[in-house]
Amino acid sequence: MATSTTKPLTQKEIKTALAQLPGWTYSANTLVREFTFHSFREALSFMVRAGFEAEAMDHHPDWTNVYNRVTVHLSTHDAGDKVTMKDIELAERFSRISWVK
């Protein structure tokens, strides 16, 4: 049974949420954002800090790091790999802790 945080969002709900998440887009059933830092060290430190946020929510991103870029893809496995409120909340947390715009 899906809870309110694992129930897939409608396209309208996703569009409304994205209006409050600058830099994030919706593609292939995931929320996507690329964070570009000044160095590998900064990108890595963001990933460490973001990892604590993800672990606290028990919600782990699909992400990659290439030098100073961290690309994040968020969807909820328990919801059939669709976007849920859990993804919106984690995107908000990542945006809040990022020092790059």
Listed in sequence order, the residues at least 6 apart from 43 whose beta carbon sits closer than 8 Å to its beta carbon are 35, 37, 65, 67, 68, 69, 70
pLDDT attached to residue 53:
97
pLDDT attached to residue 89:
97
Question: For 15-70, what is each residue's pLDDT tens digit?
Answer: 999 999 999 999 999 999 999 999 999 999 999 999 999 999 999 999 999 999 99
Could you give all domains of the chain from N- to C-terminal order, each with its CATH number? Answer: 11-97 (3.30.1360.20)
pTM equals 0.93
Closest to 32 measured CA to CA, from 69, 80, 79: 69
